[in-house]
Structure 1
């Protein structure tokens, strides 16, 4: 009989062995590593198993995972029966179970491991994806059920842990969703297929000093990205967001805000595609006084020829609503005009990508209806591309955002001028005596 006080958020996790994979992600000080180590000790006391504990660099194990097991063994008053051996690093149990420790920086040493039925990848985001797949191959036993536990602080959505366990190719046309991470943050624990997901933050660790949490809170002032990872325990975007002011809201709320605008300006823009790219047509409303752009309707399709597109957009032909399209597709614009659409090509001089991007960024808010899922998918986490030296390229992005191009074209004859711009223009006019 072992008595040990644990954090309530981890109670079910300690004894849940239903799934093959158990993925724990959380912020600093959430106690996820502590509870993983405790879970493994309890399992190996119950069943004779060989467990493998892995980090990317072997030298980091002694002061982290190995020290944690030693601390727990003493805390549980089991040091007389469970032995921690330092050379080679092993934890040996009285029933023949053992824990061995390896680093992925010495992969040749993994080849000598046999009958491993339980693997813990600590700080798994630091381990390479090829290493993760290699470890899956090392997980085998003729009788015992196999388990792999992965624990990590979240990094960015470009890491393999996100694409493997959450969303693969996010915001791309071949996107595959295993689990929306936002659902995990809401539910805290989720089971999908053969994977158990667990999310935790410092608030879940009842043994943590309040001063530690206060220090984490302070990071919100000077490092939002670190705050997201350390305090909130959430994945995020790698790189600089193009539209940090972008937000999505329920459709009814968006339309109510548009209705309240004094003299709203309506615009529609369209980007063209076919085989790989998408056709994207957006309806937008502008609150010129408050510099707010609203996106409230979208058309999004691919692999459609011009007659099919014209059929889809007959409501535009009926209303003669003005549309600005990509002038690089004059034949498509000509055909749509023949079919009754009031569409013309947008002005696209050299350097217009950068200038159009700057124009959109001048809006104080960009509010998108939740009835525009493709626009949200493309623009919410749109980031700038970087060159090989790590420098930001301000007219290239991490994806090909068709809806962003549609916004550009729709705003072709509109310029965002804020209060500062107006003052500067008035000042210049006075100085010139005009």
Structure 2
């Protein structure tokens, strides 16, 4: 492999990345892969080769600046030493920089210190490492920082695929998946099959640990073992596919064909019908769900949904006129009393749900007590929000049990609809039995 103006250097690389190393035809290059696939290594090598060939300023970014030294910076240092170029390419520790004899340089910044980005000029190449951790607003800010009067501009993004709620999925693959305004850029399933695909001005690359010929077999086996105890982690880490990385809120949630769902509901001896509604306008959404409860088997069925935003109260009522005719009881979000009052005045049988302090956590626990949650495949938004819903974590990595990776409007609708219903599980039965014993009954 040539490294002009240096003497020729031989460097062994993984075959799956050979074409990627020298392909600069697109502005955006997205590398998605599992753990240990060597994508970061080959991005760093690609940047070194480019900056050796022509004078450029490259910017390497992670969400948190302090994580760069032990990741990207040390990776560049490792490659430079392997190529025996340490006497020609200078590593500067403070502030972190890499300087080349031809005037090229690599600078490192963290998105947690955005003011330091403003002084950067003539950056023609940016690498966003672990781009899924960077906020979408930060990504767009960096696009604005990518400018040079003469050189072609390039942005490389590398990441382990997290969940479909992340901006990397909605920006590069499918936006508003499962909704009426869905926009398809690339079906990620096609990328998993083809491994590399070019769409417009974006080069897509997929990799797994199998593509890293230098990886110890013991590491690969550890990835294989995740299939036994964590299928979601296996999908992300071993297969390099978008999925859920974290603790699922509703692991018992599943979808079925609509006809099968209705068949099961009709077979319930005494189904309990419920309807709940969450309100939204700008960023959030209106979500109304029709549900049926099998109280004996402790199964929650979701068989109809209404999902919209940017609609005022009259428009919402116009969409829900049938509820004025059927007089079905709806429990709505009590923080919107004006909307509830308007819909009630127009003929809907709607009241506000009880929302005491701590109700988010209690409502979440209530829904989790169902033995199964079965959703009609016609409820696309409900499936999209709840199938991959995970808990948020704090800075110390502790799970926050009343906060989630997205704002799940359909989950709120379930809470409100079940406002006056309680799922009694085995633990509750034990408490009741103890109470009866204490009374001597």
Normalised to the residue count of structure 1, the TM-score between the two structures is 0.70
CA–CA separation in structure 2 for the residues paired with 1:198 and 1:133? 24
2:219 matches 1:216: no
1:345 aligns with 2:356: no
Instruction: Name the CA distance, whole Å, in 2 between partners of 1:203 and 1:429.
Output: 60
Shift of 1:297: 0.8
**Is residue 68 of structure 1 aligned with residue 74 of structure 2?**
no
Q: Deviations over 1:57-79 (max 9, x none)?
A: 467656412322543x4xxxxx7
Q: Indicate how the Cα distance of structure 1 residues 239 and 34 shifts in structure 2: closer, same or farther if over 3 A, else same.
A: closer
Does residue 407 in structure 1 map to residue 414 in structure 2? Answer: yes
Partner of 2:426: 419
Deviation (angstroms), 1:288 = 2.8
Contact 1:158 1:238 in 2 (8 A): no
CA gap of 1:43–1:418, structure 2 versus 1, over 3 A, is same
- Please give the alpha-carbon distance, in whole angstroms, between the structure 2 residues aligned to 1:228 and 1:387: 24
- Structure 2 counterpart SS, 1:215: helix
Alignment RMSD? 5.1
Shift of 1:19: 1.0
Aligned residue runs from structure 1 range 255-404, under 5 A: 255-259=262-266, 261=268, 263-272=270-279, 278-302=285-309, 304=311, 307-326=314-333, 336=343, 341=348, 343-345=349-351, 348=354, 350-351=356-357, 352-382=359-389, 395=402, 401-404=408-411
Instruction: Give structure 2 stretches of 5+ with no counterpart.
Output: 3-9, 92-97
8 Å Cα contact 2:51/2:105 also seen in 1 = no
2:7 is matched with: none
Aligned residue for 1:299, secondary structure, equals strand
CA gap of 1:276–1:138, structure 2 versus 1, over 3 A, is closer
1:103 corresponds to: 108
Are positions 1:150 and 2:157 aligned together? yes
Offset, 1:416 = 0.7
Shift of 1:214: 1.0
Matches within 5 A, 1:10-89: 10=17, 12-36=19-43, 39=46, 48=54, 50=56, 52=58, 54=60, 57=68, 63-71=74-82, 73=83, 85-87=88-90
1:336-363: per-residue Cα shift (whole Å, max 9, x none)? 566554x242551634444333211212
| 1:429 alignment partner in structure 2 | 436
199, 208, 228: which is aligned to 2:206? 199
Q: Deviations over 1:182-233 (max 9, x none)?
A: 7755764454442222232213334533321112334567788876654344
User: Contact 1:254–1:369 (CA<8 Å) still a contact in 2?
Assistant: yes
Contact 1:49 1:118 survives alignment (8 Å): no
Distance 1:431 1:168, change over 3 A: same
Distance 1:331 1:112 in 2: 49
SS at match of 1:28: coil
Structure 1's unaligned 5+ residue stretches are: 74-78
User: Which shifted more, 273-282 or 391-400?
Assistant: 391-400
State the distance in 1 between where 2:330 and 2:119 align. Answer: 63
Report if aligned partners of 1:297, 1:369 keep a CA contact under 8 Å in 2: yes
Superposed CA deviations along residues 143-200 of structure 1, whole A, max 9, x for unmatched, are: x53333233445688988678656899999x999876767755764454442222232
Give the SS at the match of 1:104: strand
**Structure 2 partner of 1:76:** none
Which position in structure 1 is the counterpart of 2:148? 140
1:96-142: CA deviations, max 9, x gaps?
7x86443337998997986x755545555678976995686465362
Decide whether aligned partners of structure 1 residues 335 and 170 sit closer, same or farther in structure 2, where only a CA change above 3 A counts: same
Distance 1:314 1:90 in 2: 68
Q: Which residue of 1 aligns with 2:94?
A: none
Partners of 1:122 and 1:273 lie apart in 2 by: 34
Whether contact under 8 Å (2:262, 2:303) holds in the other structure is yes
CA offset digits 1:228-247 (Å, max 9, x no partner): 65434456778765434434
What is the aligned length? 417
Separation in 1, partners of 2:178, 2:398: 23
The TM-score with structure 2 as length reference comes to 0.69
